[in-house]
């Protein structure tokens, strides 16, 4: 295999800091979510796609229990003993790796140390799940170093990484990002049932492409507002249960039921619930439309998703609304919406294949004119999930 520039940089990094040769390269992608936002922690449905941007860990096992990793882009080190619960206070990224190790150990796996270099090209802090990619690439490295790569199923691995982020890093995310980073498939989105963790592949036909617009606007409010939305959903479920005792999550509530019992909820909580309930219905409809080749309908559902996130869930922002406008103003765009948690970060558009370069330029021009910020636009084919390459043949 002829190494590309990125691979070469990682190898150079390894040779600078470590003796001997690496044995494996673990790769885990970022993601973009086509539709199904803020539904994962409500036991609902999501339809994400793995990106062609990823986090890579080039490593070799150690005979002791130490983890020593150098992050190329951060120019900083993770250095800890497997099982240590002492958090790194200077840099955040080592905590993702450490938390994943703790969760895997919690599942009864006997882990071993490893050392190497981490490098990523998923834009950070942009809502494309660079953290989940780091977690899953690290999880693959832990499992490989311990000779236990088949010890967990994909969904189990994703769950362990989500728990690491919830409990050790302290971010209360759902399971979507870790799941798609682990199990994504080339040419496909995954329809994931976030309650059962059943999933199925949904082909993204060649005729349509995904265009991602990075607003480059900060997401500073994201953490607290995300937790507040989760709490509002839980409040909604608790109140609805007085009339609908069999429901366990908003996933179990239909639009008709929600409307019939709206008097149980405050106006704000009603709107939060209305987003989640209607978004679940939109995911199911979008899968039908994609599979039936009705891309116009998929685009309409994406537009409706954005409106619901903006008006009912209130997680959009000026920058995201302007990005979505810039995307929709091109005639090849079938629909566009914010993607990920919101409050900044990225929007995704479904675009007729063939005009991507022109679409990119048009989005950049229009967005820059209204926001005075030069955005990044990525065009990514639906890519495959995490994998580990043994390096004996490189």
Contact residues toward ligand GLA (CB under 6 A) are: 37-38, 40-41, 173-174, 176-177, 340-341
**Annotated catalytic residue, options 43, 177, 252, 312:** 177
Supply the minimum distance, in Å, between the C-beta of residue 308 and ligand GLA: 12
Which lies closer to ligand GLA via its Cβ, residue 58 or residue 304?
Answer: 304
d(CA 84, CA 99): 9
Annotation says 177 is catalytic: yes
Contact 186/382 with Cβ under 8 angstroms? yes
Contact 345/215 with Cβ under 8 angstroms? yes
Supply the minimum distance, in Å, between the C-beta of residue 318 and ligand GLA: 19
Supply the minimum distance, in Å, between the C-beta of residue 341 and ligand GLA: 4
Query: Position of tokens 């480059």?
Result: 216
Supply the minimum distance, in Å, between the C-beta of residue 229 and ligand GLA: 9
Which lies closer to ligand GLA via its Cβ, residue 158 or residue 326?
Answer: 158
Q: How far from 29 is each of 40, 104, 296, CA to CA, in Å?
A: 19, 20, 28
Which lies closer to ligand GLA via its Cβ, residue 135 or residue 252?
Answer: 135
d(CA 22, CA 174): 33
Which lies closer to ligand GLA via its Cβ, residue 61 or residue 174?
Answer: 174
Contact 71/124 with Cβ under 8 angstroms? no
Closest CA to 76 of 90, 55, 56: 90
| Cα dihedral across residues 283, 289, 292, 293: positive or negative | negative
Contact 92/37 with Cβ under 8 angstroms? no
Which residues carry out catalysis? 177
């Amino acid at each position: 295999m002829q190494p590309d520039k990125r691979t070469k940089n990682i190898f150079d990094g390894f040779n600078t800091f470590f003796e001997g040769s690496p044995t494996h390269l673990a790769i885990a992608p970022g993601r973009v979510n086509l539709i199904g936002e803020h539904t994962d922690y409500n036991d609902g449905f999501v339809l994400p796609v793995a990106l062609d941007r990823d986090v890579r860990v080039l490593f070799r096992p150690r005979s002791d229990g130490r983890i020593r990793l150098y992050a190329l882009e951060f120019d900083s080190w993770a250095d800890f003993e497997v099982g240590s619960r002492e958090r790194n206070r200077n840099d955040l990224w080592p905590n993702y790796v450490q938390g994943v190790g703790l969760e895997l150990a919690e599942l009864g796996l006997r882990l071993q140390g490893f050392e190497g270099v981490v490098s990523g090209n998923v834009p950070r802090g942009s809502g494309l799940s660079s953290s989940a990619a780091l977690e899953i690439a690290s999880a693959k490295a832990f499992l490989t170093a311990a000779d236990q790569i088949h010890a967990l199923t994909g969904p189990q691995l994703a769950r362990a990484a989500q728990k690491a982020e919830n409990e050790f890093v302290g971010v209360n995310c759902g399971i979507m990002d870790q799941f798609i980073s682990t199990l994504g498939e080339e040419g496909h989105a995954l329809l994931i049932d976030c309650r059962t963790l059943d999933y199925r592949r949904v082909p993204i036909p060649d005729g349509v492409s995904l265009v991602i617009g990075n607003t480059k606007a900060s997401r500073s409010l994201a953490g607290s507002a995300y937790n507040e939305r989760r709490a509002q959903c839980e409040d909604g479920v608790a109140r609805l249960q007085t009339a609908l005792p069999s429901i366990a999550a908003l996933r179990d509530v239909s639009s008709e039921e929600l409307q019939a019992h709206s008097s149980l909820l405050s106006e704000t909580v009603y709107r939060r619930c209305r987003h989640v309930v209607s978004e679940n219905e939109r995911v199911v409809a979008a899968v039908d439309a994609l599979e039936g080749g009705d891309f116009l309908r998929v685009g309409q559902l994406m537009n409706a998703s954005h409106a619901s996130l903006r008006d009912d869930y209130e997680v959009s922002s000026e920058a995201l609304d302007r990005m979505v406008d810039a995307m929709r103003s091109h005639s090849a765009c079938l629909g566009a919406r914010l993607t990920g948690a919101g409050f900044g970060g990225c929007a995704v558009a479904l675009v007729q294949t063939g005009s991507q370069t022109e679409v990119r330029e048009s989005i950049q021009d229009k967005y820059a004119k209204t926001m005075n910020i030069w955005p990044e636009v990525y065009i990514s084919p639906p890519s495959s999930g995490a994998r580990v390459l043994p390096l004996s043949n490189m």
